[in-house]
């Protein structure tokens, strides 16, 4: 439990120190940056802007956050307690609300873009756009807000799903035959999904209704792909069992 907690907090302790180092300036064209600069930004998030996605170092927050949650659940289960009570759900939701309010306050009083009119302010909408919008500047900047919201959102979704349908129930939840393969192959779905999203040009900007429609179509395609892969793996396992069973000889 100590190791994932340390790993979860380490990026926020070391990141300000890394920012004090004399990093080389970014070239005008990022495609002309030296490999050492790209690799440094990819692994450590510095120099900022050389790698426009979350660094491996900062992603430790999510990885170690999941390890910490698993450790807590295992300890509670071993003690005969409910691993994920409703209080965990509400704490996670309250944490998300606190982060969003903090973002609204910060952007309302501090984030003034270049050339803005006097008294210009942003609010919660701009803060949300920085998290889930096409710019995703929180993720690109490795901002604490992105990782805090991602971690708390993950805990809330896991806790809520467990409360709605505890894993102790042997029966499969009704109407989930298409969705369950996402859980069985979550790492594959995450990897394929991120690769596809990173291949989408940043210049593609859609109105909100079209963006929501594209998101739903993309989600449906991912669910269908994982369902096909799950069925394919099941048929392969069945064929292997038939090949080694006495009746299959």
Residue 141 clears pLDDT 60, i.e. is over it: yes
Give how far Cα 236 sits from Cα of 97, 186, 224, 249, Å: 46, 19, 18, 17
Q: Under a CB-based contact definition with an 8 Å cutoff, are residues 24 and 37 in contact?
A: yes
Share of the chain above pLDDT 90, in %: 0
- Average pLDDT along the chain: 76
Count of CB atoms situated within 10 Å of the CB of 66: 16
What's the pLDDT score for residue 124?
Answer: 60
Q: What is the mean pLDDT of residues 23-27?
A: 81
58-74 pLDDT, tens digit each:
888 888 888 888 888 88
78-111 pLDDT, tens digit each:
888 877 777 877 888 888 778 777 766 666 555 5
Angle ∠(222,177,184) on CA atoms, nearest 5: 60
Q: Please, which pLDDT band fits residue 113 given cuts at 50, 70 and 90?
A: very low
Residue 122 clears pLDDT 60, i.e. is over it: no
Q: What is the mean pLDDT of residues 145-165?
A: 77
Q: What is the mean pLDDT of residues 205-216?
A: 79
Delimit the domains of the chain by residue range: 1-82, 84-171, 174-249
What's the pLDDT score for residue 3?
Answer: 83
Residue, of 205 and 156, whose pLDDT is higher: 156
- The answer to whether the pTM exceeds 0.95 is no
Q: Under a CB-based contact definition with an 8 Å cutoff, are residues 62 and 147 in contact?
A: yes
What's the pLDDT score for residue 216?
Answer: 87
30-56 pLDDT, tens digit each:
667 788 888 888 888 888 766 767 788
């Amino acid at each position: 439990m100590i190791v994932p907690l340390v790993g979860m907090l380490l990026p926020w302790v070391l990141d300000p120190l890394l920012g004090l180092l004399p990093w080389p300036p970014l070239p005008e064209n990022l495609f002309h940056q030296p490999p050492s600069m790209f690799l440094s930004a990819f692994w450590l998030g510095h120099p900022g802007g050389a790698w426009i996605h979350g660094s491996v170092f900062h992603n430790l927050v999510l990885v170690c956050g999941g390890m910490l949650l698993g450790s807590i659940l295992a300890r509670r289960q071993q003690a005969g307690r409910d691993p994920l009570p409703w209080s965990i759900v509400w704490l996670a939701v309250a944490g998300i609300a606190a982060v969003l309010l903090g973002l609204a306050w910060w952007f309302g009083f501090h984030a003034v873009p270049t050339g803005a009119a006097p008294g210009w302010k942003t609010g919660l909408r701009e803060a949300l756009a920085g998290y889930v919008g096409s710019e995703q500047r929180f993720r690109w900047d490795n901002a604490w807000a992105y990782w805090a919201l991602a971690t708390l959102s993950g805990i809330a979704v896991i806790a809520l799903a467990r409360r709605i349908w505890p894993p102790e129930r042997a029966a499969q939840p009704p109407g989930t035959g298409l969705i369950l393969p996402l859980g069985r192959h979550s790492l594959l779905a995450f990897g394929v999904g991120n690769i596809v999203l990173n291949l989408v040009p940043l210049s593609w900007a859609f109105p909100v209704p079209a963006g929501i429609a594209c998101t739903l179509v993309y989600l449906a395609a991912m669910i269908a792909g994982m369902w096909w892969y799950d069925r394919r793996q099941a048929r392969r396992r069945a064929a292997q069992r038939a090949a080694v069973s006495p009746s299959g000889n």
